[in-house]
Structure 1
Amino acid sequence: MSKIITPLSEYKIKSAKPKQKDYKLFDGGGLFLLVKTNGTKLWRYKYTENGKENLKSLGKYPEVSLANARLNKESFKTNRSNITLRDVVTEFLATKEKSCRKNYFNQMVRRINFNIPEYLLSKPIADIEKTEIAQLIKQINKRSAYSANVILTYFNNFYELAEASGYIKMVPSLSPKFLITKPEAGHRAFLSDEYELSAFLKTIKHHKNQIAYLMFKFLIYTVLREAEARLLRWDEIDFKQRLLILPPSRMKNKKEHKQPLSDKAIEILQYLKELNGSYKYVFYSHNNKSHFNKNILFYVIKKSGYQGKQTTHGFRHIFSTWANNTFPELGQVIEKALAHKNPNKSEDAYNKAEHLLQREKLLSKWADYIDGIENI
């Protein structure tokens, strides 16, 4: 016959004195009060999952009363299966914020936001398949083996916390052995680590050719291709409508491209208007008496020590990754901003939506993000 447990009362809890060893006062249903030798009283909930006993901390008495401890137990029982990855990440960051330096903590938050997509953060952690994480790590590895290793370490930390809190049955084995390999450097290399990107932006900011630097920033803000930015003409800018209107002859997909301008992009153009407004090209080279040479930005990258690590086209990759992770519901808007050709010819023939307002808001947030990175 099982032992009948008499529920606790506030009087019994208040009367409990410390002893030579820790001891427990049971309330029933797995809830008990742990009385420590120093007099501290802690609420614990013992539950079984797949034959394994687990403990959940429910707070400290008297901050958490008997009634609230019982409510917390029931709430935990109800919500445990609905805990999302975001909930675990939030709990993880709360513990790290107290123990980490501010810069390191902010870097951690940025890396998580940049690399882990919204759909995964919103999913119950118990429902996330190991293959989903493996696929994400492999995707990040294509950009940066270092970042892939960091994010994989974070995931292992998330799962250890989730298991300790009783949100999952067991920690999946996530080894870097088969997931992370150092990618070969390509002509579209780009920096995926935000601190490296920040260092790059700070380096080119002090380049002796300030027009080249402004061209870089404008190219980043507008996510144009290198030639589209470098050969930009004043007659392709509509300041009133806050638009770039690039003719088909200048576009890779041979279609006119209208690109909204953020406040930061407008600011660069207004500054250059005072310097080069009487010339044909926005980024006018007084040495060439025309537009800049096509190798100017490559030269800036090389002199800054980032050859093979960052390319002009690489900023489009960075934008695409950031935008798709931050706003996964804006897929068509993002593709329009990048002036990508729609692979679905039938849809491309009928769907003429420009999404100009959404693109302007997206590019404004992107410009704020880039400036935030530069000022880390």
Structure 2
Amino acid sequence: MPRLTKPLTATEVKTAKPKDRNYKLSDGGGLFLLVQPSGSKLWRMKFRFNGKEGLLSFGQYPDVSLMDARKKRDESREMIVAGIDPREARKARIEANRAKTEYTFERIARDWHTDKLPEWQPVTARNTLNRLELDIFPVLGNLPIADITHQQIIDVLKAIELRAAETARRLKSTLSRIFSYAIQRGIIRHNPIPDLIDVLNKVNKQHFAAIKPSELGPFLRTLETNRARLFFPTQVAVSLMMMTFVRTSELIGAEWPEIDLNNGIWRIPWQRMKMGKRKINPDMTDHRIDLPSQAVTLLRDLKAVTGSGRYLFPNQRGHDKPMSNGAILMVLRRMGYQGKMTGHGFRTLAASALEELGYRREVIDRALAHKERNKIQAAYFRADFMAERKKMLQDWADYLDELREKNQ
């Protein structure tokens, strides 16, 4: 028969004096008061779990009274009976409390942002953080990420949607990635964003404005009537974009060493191409354009004007920088095509018109520098379509000339 332990009294606990070495005052059920030579009185509980002995600490007297210590002992014994290790339960409580004080949404979001920096372009990193700082952190930033509710997320997203629907949609995606990041770190167990399927109104995807192939003739006529109002380099830029349908950034950043006038080739370094700028698995293939004869003639004339500098199309305010990104849009606005045509629209226009003229889509895609996902096919396209691409660009330039003559 186990020996019964006489419970301690509040007076015994209070009057217990220190000795030369540690000693214990037992209260029963594994609970005891450890009195140290320094005078400290510490509550401890000895227990067995799964056949192994363990020790719990309940704090120091008088911060923890005899009654409080007994309450902690009884709670721990109930856990043991239920098959729960009280030490693990305590760790879980500590971690939960830590999550509420340390793992705020803003802290986790900033950690996620920092971890993504090696993968992002600087502009992506800057824009992502700016959107969070402007719209999310003021509302959710100080909240423990584990405690954020569906309704709190809905409220903040709907408020943003009233001002900018597309921004709300992008931020919803960003929030989902942050919550997923918190799951991977073991901070939370559930991502609430996938539950919010119908929270935001559907946004119709907006394509870059572009005229139809049937509208190309009148467009060329309008361009001719406006040439006198444009600087010569700007005239060449618009014409070259129409003939080669490169991206606006690839056009305005063009440098003279990229141009081989003798052979009629424009080789854009992969570092300037859209897929080459990716930090993860960039496409390190230069984009070759076999220039039509009309483009070569224009570029020879342009070289007499800007050939002494670095850029084909230098900025009018300083030739050490390229033409402004909005220069093409300004031309289109002067022509009366604002909202109807964009720099990117030349690519859409050319792709549609060339298909109508009978060219294969894969040849057009390679000329547009669209990336082929299949690496084997991509290598084949680069090697086998160059002759077709060269002929296509010359045919396209001739076609533009024919339309221009018909509409004069």
TM-score (norm 2): 0.44
TM-score by length of 1: 0.47
Q: Looking at CA atoms only, which structure, 1 or 2, has the larger radius of gyration?
A: 2
